Amino acid sequence: MTEIQKRQDRSPVPSAFDYAPAPESREIVSLEERYGLFVGGEWVEPKSGESHPTISPATEEELAEVAYAGPEDVGLAVDAARDAFDNGWSDIAPSERAKYLFRIARLLQERSREFAVLESLDGGKPIRESRDVDLPLAAAHFFYYAGWADKLEYAFPNRRPKPVGVAGQIIPWNFPLLMLSWKIAPALAAGNTVVLKPAESTPLTALLFCDVVRQAELPPGVVNIVTGDGRAGAELVKHPGVDKVAFTGSTDVGKEIQRAVAGTGKKLTLELGGKAANIIFDDAPLDQAVEGIINGIYFNQGHVCCAGSRLLVQESIYEQVIAKLKRRMGTLRVGDPLDKNTDIGAINSKAQLERIQELVRSGEEEGADVFQPECRLPEKGWWFAPTVFTNVAQSYRIAQEEIFGPVLSVLTFRTPDEAVEKANNTPYGLAAGVWTEKGSRILSMAQRLRAGVVWANTYNRFDPTSPFGGYKESGFGREGGLHGLEAYVRFD
């Protein structure tokens, strides 16, 4: 026996592989102690005199003090946007507007690590998702709409598109920078100016974006950022100087906005809640489908409006799918969002955690069977283990209401007709997924599912060229693609 073989014999064979922590450095992000409002290209103190801290959901530490805009602050921001629109931005050559958008896109790429760390720090999502999904997509939207800025006459032939004016935009806390990009990029490409209000719990990447605006040398007032809570959003919606309102958030708030805008002549797009069905047929590639299920509901802790929170499994493969799903859930790592090994980060806020806990309790009380893999949750911060409910009836709250957390409800079906009926049996209509090897079945299901986006043998895949939006209580209008551009133009 050789010496090498002897050394190999003495080495113990590991029974399991553990991940050592691989934290991303926080040092790349430099936070101010206090942030004001970004109005007319400058930082200004709020006339309201109000400010509140933004909290890291993973550690409950205060990251920074952030100004809360009042009615007068919102009015000044709208005035600054109007002045920028009337005095140059809407009239400059479209090719010049395109240059600004290209600059912003490149700056987001150059500063992507900084933005990714801040997004995970402020929002709680895993750094892998911020780094590999949010930032590349944010930059891609600016690149895409930069390409359209000087081609509007080709985008809308024979229709003479013109900018709408001042756009009031309100974004949610689940994808702060990406939602900012979805809204600002098409608005600027079409020649509009913007007043944007980020969510009160995740304002920091929007505030850092103000520095990108400065670096890109965007004319003052073209982009204005006013932070605050729902009161600031309501002031922005009802301000008479706003020509277009774009909102992403809850269905209840969306209904309030629609009532407020009715009769004013303002253009409106709403991207609201969802309760998407992820449908697994018996001929689906099961291992691939299980990965799609995981990505569909546990991506970003389930804080996704189009999350595949209802799993519809054909009866003949039900037990096999559930066994594979539970085994895969056991490998998910819950913990520090800045650890590159983390799969599921922190719940965005204490209020959202309580909402998830309340709905999970209702599922148990109504008779569903709950499963959670063994995992140790950190003592500080707001956390919830990945959860799956089986033995779920259509009438249960967990099958009807949007939970917006890492909670999956499983139902079964026998035929494609039953799958369509169950999938459409919801007030929402934002997205759906279909898993099967038959192309004809995919096309048939996509035609019959009442959802704005239908993914086939994948889930939660986005592209700036493809429109996204919903039906019914999931809102109306589209973001992304030419459809997203049309919302920011008017025609003579």
C-alpha to C-alpha distances, 85 to 72, 91, 161, 222, 223, nearest whole angstrom:
20, 8, 16, 7, 10
Length of the chain: 492
Strands (E), 339-449: 369-371, 387-390, 407-413, 431-435
- Sign of the C-alpha dihedral computed for residues 472, 476, 478 and 479 taken in this order: negative
N- to C-terminal Cα separation, the chain: 88
Q: For helices 135-148 and 176-189, give the axis angle rounded to 10 degrees.
A: 10
User: Among this protein's residues, is 235 annotated catalytic?
Assistant: no
* E runs forming strands in 360-481: 369-371, 387-390, 407-413, 431-435, 453-456, 475-476
- Is 65 catalytic? The answer is no
Exposure string for 328-349, b = 16+ CB within 10 A, e = fewer: bbeebebbbbbbebbbbbbbbb
Per DSSP, the three-state class of 45 is coil
| CA–CA distance, 372 with 107 (Å, rounded to integer) | 41
Residue entry with tokens 């992000």: 29
Residue 294, Cβ neighbours under 10 Å: how many?
20
To which H or E segment does residue 43 belong?
strand 42-44
For residue 8, with 0-12 CB atoms within 10 Å meaning exposed, 13-18 middle and 19 or more buried, which class applies?
exposed
Continuous H helices in 149-225: 152-155, 176-189, 204-215
Dihedral, CA of residue 165, residue 170, residue 175 and residue 176, to nearest 10: 80
Measured CA to CA, the distance from residue 340 to residue 365 in angstroms comes to: 37
Cβ-based burial of 15 (10 A; exposed 0-12, middle 13-18, buried ≥19): exposed
Q: Which of 305, 402, 473, 479 is catalytic?
A: 305
Instruction: Choose, from 129, 200, 271, 479, the residue flagged as catalytic.
Output: 271
Two structure tokens written together for 274? 């969802």
DSSP 275-289: --EEEE-TTS-HHHH
Q: Which residue has the tokens 């709208």?
A: 78
CA gyration radius for the chain? Answer: 24
Query: Catalytic residue positions?
Result: 271, 305
